[in-house]
Amino acid sequence: MSRIGKKPVTVPAGVTANVTGQLVKVKGSKGELSFEVPEEVSVALENGAIAVQPRFETKRARALWGTSRARINNLVVGTSAGFEKKLEINGVGYKAAVAGKVLKLSLGYSHDIDYDIPAGVTITTPKPTEIVVAGIDKQVVGQTAAEIREYRGPEPYKGKGVKYAGEFIFRKEGKKK
């Protein structure tokens, strides 16, 4: 039994949800999102909440039950409040700046990296060593943050690189003389 799947997704005030067949559409103050629920799971809108139930007693249906409920919850949270990931840049001369629809990263390479900001995501740099990725789709926000981090992930000796805010980097001791 899915503990997450059992709980219905409550739709807060200011957010409208429509369920037509297997398609769930959610519209809020931040925007509109939709999700196609897999056939193994049934979805229904009842009493201002979206309930999800497995259609069959198969392993796949039980696995998709909790996943579908979590995805629908992310639609509701995204359209009402939105999602945000913060990245920190550590290292001498490492910095970031937004110029139009391009994020310019200086990460110690011989060239600057130009990252095209995807649609549906806003990137701001409050400080040259801080990047804030925000949007309504949790998957797109997380993927964008992961792609930026991938250009130069944090290394374990000096901690230089791009890391998530609050991420713990296990530090190693350097070579002894």
| pLDDT band with cut points at 50, 70 and 90 for residue 132 | very high
Locate 27 and state its tokens.
Answer: 């519209």
Residues 29-52, mean pLDDT to the nearest whole number? 92
Instruction: Using the predicted structure, report yes or no on whether residue 1 has a pLDDT greater than 80.
Output: no
3-state secondary structure 121-175: EEEECCCCCEEEEEECCHHHHHHHHHHHHHCCCCCCCCCCEEEECCCCCCCCCCC
Distance separating alpha carbons of residues 172 and 157, to the nearest angstrom:
5
pTM of the predicted protein model = 0.88
Fold match flag (3-80 vs 83-164): yes
| pLDDT band with cut points at 50, 70 and 90 for residue 20 | very high
| pLDDT band with cut points at 50, 70 and 90 for residue 177 | confident
Specify the pLDDT at position 60: 92
Question: Look-up: residue for tokens 């909790």?
Answer: 66
Distance separating alpha carbons of residues 105 and 9, to the nearest angstrom:
39
Distance separating alpha carbons of residues 176 and 148, to the nearest angstrom:
33
Specify the pLDDT at position 48: 87
Question: In the predicted model, what is the mean pLDDT of the chain?
Answer: 93
Instruction: Indicate the angle between helix axes 59-80 and 138-150, nearest 10 degrees.
Output: 90
Q: Could you please state the CATH topology (level 3) that the domain comprising 3-80 is classified under.
A: Outer Surface Protein A; domain 3 (3.90.930)
The matching CATH number, chosen from 3.40.50.11750, 1.10.569.10, 3.90.930.12, 3.40.190.10, for 83-164 is 3.90.930.12
Distance separating alpha carbons of residues 8 and 172, to the nearest angstrom:
45
Residue 33's nearest CA partner among 71, 6, 84 is 71
Domain ranges of the chain: 3-80, 83-164
* 8-state DSSP, 91: S
In degrees, rounded to 5, the angle at the alpha carbon of residue 72 between the alpha carbons of residues 57 and 115 is: 125
Would you say 136 and 78 are in contact if contact means Cβ atoms under 8 Å apart?
Answer: yes
Sign of CA dihedral 147, 171, 83, 104: negative
